[in-house]
A and B are shown apart, each in its own frame.
Chain A
Amino acid sequence: MKEKWSALMQKDGAKTVVASLLSILIGLLVGCVIVLVVGLTNPGMGAAAAWDGIRLVLGGILSTGRDAVGNLTFGFNPTNVGNMLFRATPLILTGLSVAVAFKTGLFNIGAPGQYLMGTAATLVVALSIPSTVVPAPVVWLLAFLSGILAGAAWGAIPGLVKALLNINEVLACIMTNWIAANLVTWIFDGSNWRNLEENGKTGYIYKTAHNGVETAKWGLDTIFPSSQVNWGIIIAAVMAVAVYILITKTTLGYELVSCGSNRHAARYAGINDRRNIVLSMAIAGGLAGAAASLYFLSGNTEFAWSTYQFLPPVGFNGIPVALLAASNPIAIIFTGCFMSMLNIAGQQLTNLTGYNEYITDVIIAAIVYLSAFSLVIKMMLDGQKKHKTSVPAAADSAPVPGGKAEKGGEDA
């Protein structure tokens, strides 16, 4: 089951890339077909609108709006690119979060909850320590670290119940997601961090800039004018590299991955599998928490605190980011950017056409669906290659006597 993901990660990088590209291609195709069908069947739209929609789905990042005649215009749009990088920041980190868990044989669908807890901790710290007393960069750092810690603590909960009670981590994650959603609402409900100043805009927490705390832009604002991009993207990329090193080069990574590939063998070899499950979920949670921190510490983003009926999609979107990258931390930097590019395209779609941004969610879902059997796609690629170059077949597909189908873990 999940073990396969880590197997997939270690070899045949090329085939993985092709499989991912195929998934993306088919996903985009599904999106375009839906746009086309809706356009042609909806009396208010028609073929021209459908064509506009398709062009934006595929090239929204390059959109520069409409010209005087009302035709779509395309070109390099630094604002869009900057915003893409800004939105990629949390996606890369939630993608890493999901990927680290995958490596340990766990499915972290709890990133939304970890993200919310990270958000709450970051905002509380960033807004409650007056930057007039403590220097703003120090407040920033404290807020960032508390976001990571809060996410890590929240991620450790499903890890603990999995390790100690063998509860399916997927269910535990989903419950902790909703508990987090209610808890965060509770924390801010009636607090004095609610932004009551701006009229007509209730239900938001102060931006951290209110307290003078924001992530530095250091030149990025001149490259990508009037966009929200800041050094958060660099931090995210650095963290991706750090995770890569952790997984592939260290003894801790060796331990985590061996637990993920075969928990029984790891236990047999004296590796503490329970500790590693908790640790891996804590690391995953910390990364999701960091995603929230970097997003809200930009100083310019607002948090709608009454979130008890709503989970942040960026948490769930970490799943496709990780799947597309086959859990390779370096590849996640790119797949994260790709996902946020889709996001920008969706925004353009809402602004410029009768369609709306949810079509990009459909595309993402289609990509996840395809990723579920990208192994099969890879096998098909394998089969074709074999016919062409007649590489001698590996003996691993031969039936092994006495080899029983092994279940991934012993989920309750």
Chain B
Amino acid sequence: MAAENVIEMLHITKRFPGIIANDDITLQLRQGEIHALLGENGAGKSTLMSVLFGLYQPEAGVIKKNGQEVKINNPNDATALGIGMVHQHFKLIDVFTVLDNIILGAETTKAGFLQKREARAKVEALSERYGLKVDLDAKVEDITVGMQQRVEILKMLYRDNEILIFDEPTAVLTPQEIDELMATMKEFAKEGKSILFISHKLNEIMEVSDRVTVLRKGKYIGTVDTKDTDKQSLSDMMVGRSVQLEVQKGPAKPGEAVLSLRGFCVPSRAHKRNAVNLVSFDVRAGEILCIAGIDGNGQTELVHGLTGLEKSSGGTVTLCGEDISHASIRHRGGNMSYIPEDRHKHGLVLDFTLEQNMVLQRFKEKQFQTKGFVNKGAVREYAQRLIEQYDVRSGQGPVTVARSMSGGNQQKAIIARELDREKPLVVAVQPTRGLDVGAIEYIHSRLVAERDKGRAVLLVSLELDEVMNLSDRILVMYEGEIVGEFDPKQTDVQELGLYMAGAKRMEKGGHSA
């Protein structure tokens, strides 16, 4: 295949107030190749792609298509150049039908009125040709994440795009769906389409890509041929130092059950069925129990029901021998630490200072108040201690406004607050999402340390690597039910994937096995 560059991004620099997201980055995409863009969270991958797609304007650098310099001022320009993008967070209108979503922005009209018939025929033909099954008349909010991604791909094909950008496309898919996507991508490449594949997952990059460009902290590190490299060296390039891909931990010594769920149900906000349906399991002292599953299969609702953020509609929750099925959030917090999924929504009051955030649950305790008045000195002292103990870095110490801190340090602050409360149960939901490797390592080791102190840890994660590395026991959740229980040493990602996709399930009551 001719090694012709269809797209060249030369010396791109893009600044945001306070940070340089892309610092003199060069990327060359050849005709018909799958080119992976590798980097940690915050390395500048998405920014670079947004520049190519016309969403951002770079301060310096040029973009060339087929050797000609081009100016991409907005997504329309990108589309005109044949560039299409599947964004990490899908750009779909939930209440529109699939067909409306595909034609939006590229509608055929007669006197301003939409002409959908031809569009439908074209989309149906495309969907047939590439085996991208979608229901054109369903509303996007009613279809699965996998199908939503196919809608995004069809959007690009409908616009006859020749250069396809996939931004972290596998994060929301089951291993089987990932295989399908990889096959589709290879099919595109064979037809001569050029593909940019953004990822931080080394397995996928090794499997599908022809070449890899690595970014680190906004800087260009290098471009290598996939066949000439391996996972460890890519990982070193990405992080800049040797990293341990495995978590160091000894065997678990599980004790008594700390948390027991029996026939637990939580209603859904989106539909009439239960989001969590008749779930039963125990979490024992001294073990990390991990709940695996594709996003949106009831994990969020399970945790919300458990912590009291949502009302449960059936079953019992027993924590430390006490039935807390109908207890208040505050009461449950008496025996439970909770590292929430969304640190901006639930974890922090972003406009509060660090010290105010540190006592979010505890401000009513005797040491922090006298007769209804906040005891500021005690709060400051306490916050100071946590900051030192957990190495939370911030501009002005306890009085730093939480909003101004980096994501990793915000998460560390939450972890400090929650773990320092020293409760028998730790609930952690996606504690490492969006963080860099250093922070991930730190958080993993803290969770293992909690386990070794004899606490029960319930971890909910979407990252199968994390699940496999960290857990002592795995439960797979599918459509609100527990469909399987596994020992991480005796299973593999492929097997978990089948259960996560609902293709297989164990008999009910598997939890007691």
Contact = CB atoms under 8 A, between A and B. Distances in A.
| Direct touching of A and B (C-beta under 8 Å) | yes
Given A270-B330, A393-B18, A402-B433, A251 B347 contact: no
Interface string A1-27: 001101100110000000000000000
Interface residues of A, number: 38
B407 interface: yes
A402 B42 CA distance: 11
Given A268-B309, A398-B17, A401-B42, A250 B329 contact: no
B453 interface: no
A254 interface: yes
B426 to A, nearest CB: 15
A306 B193 CA distance: 76
Contact of B404 (A252, A270, A394): A394
B503 interface: no
B349 A397 contact: no
Interface stretch (B172-180, B184-192, B318-326, B368-376): B368-376
A254 B375 CA distance: 12
Contacts, number: 114
A382 to B, nearest CB: 10
Interface stretch (A35-43, A229-237, A256-264, A331-339): A256-264
B194 interface: no
B363 A251 contact: yes
A401 B407 contact: yes
B31 interface: no
Q: Which of A7, A262, A392, A403 has the most CB of B within 10 A?
A: A262
Given A269-B360, A398-B18, A264 B346 contact: yes
Nearest to A3: B351
B498 interface: no
Interface in A373-404: 392-404
A3 B42 CA distance: 27
Given A251-B374, A401-B41, A262 B329 contact: no
A265 B348 contact: yes
B60 to A, nearest CB: 19
Contacts of A261: 349-352
A395 B345 contact: no
Interface in A99-134: none
Q: Which of B16, B344, B356, B405 has the most CB of A within 10 A?
A: B344
B407 A262 contact: no
A272 B329 CA distance: 9
B410 to A, nearest CB: 9
A10 B357 CA distance: 14
A201 interface: no
Given A265-B345, A268-B340, A401-B41, A395 B406 contact: yes
Interface in B303-335: 307, 309, 328-333
Contacts of B374: 249-251, 254
Given A254-B374, A396-B403, A403 B344 contact: yes
A265 B332 CA distance: 16
Contacts of B348: 262, 265
A210 interface: no
Given A262-B350, A270-B329, A399-B16, A249 B309 contact: no
A67 interface: no
Given A265-B347, A265-B348, A406-B344, A397 B360 contact: no
Given A265-B346, A406-B344, A251 B372 contact: yes
B244 interface: no
Given A264-B346, A265-B346, A254 B356 contact: yes
A3 B405 CA distance: 18
Contact of A7 (B351, B356, B360, B433): B351
Interface in B10-26: 16-19, 21
A181 B373 CA distance: 39
Contacts of A397: 16-18
B401 interface: yes
Contacts of A4: 351
Contact of B372 (A6, A250, A400): A250
Given A250-B374, A268-B340, A406-B344, A392 B361 contact: no
11 contacts: A3-B351, A6-B351, A254-B374, A255-B363, A269-B333, A270-B333, A394-B395, A395-B406, A398-B17, A404-B89, A404-B344
- Lowest 5 CB-CB distances: which A-B pairs, in order? A270-B330, A393-B18, A7-B351, A269-B360, A268-B346
Interface of B: 16-19, 21, 41-42, 46-47, 89, 307, 309, 328-333, 338, 340, 344-352, 356, 360-361, 363-364, 369, 372-374, 395, 401, 403-407, 433-434
Given A10-B351, A398-B21, A399-B47, 17 more contacts: A6-B351, A7-B401, A251-B364, A254-B356, A258-B352, A265-B346, A265-B347, A266-B360, A268-B329, A268-B340, A393-B18, A395-B19, A395-B405, A397-B17, A398-B16, A401-B41, A401-B46
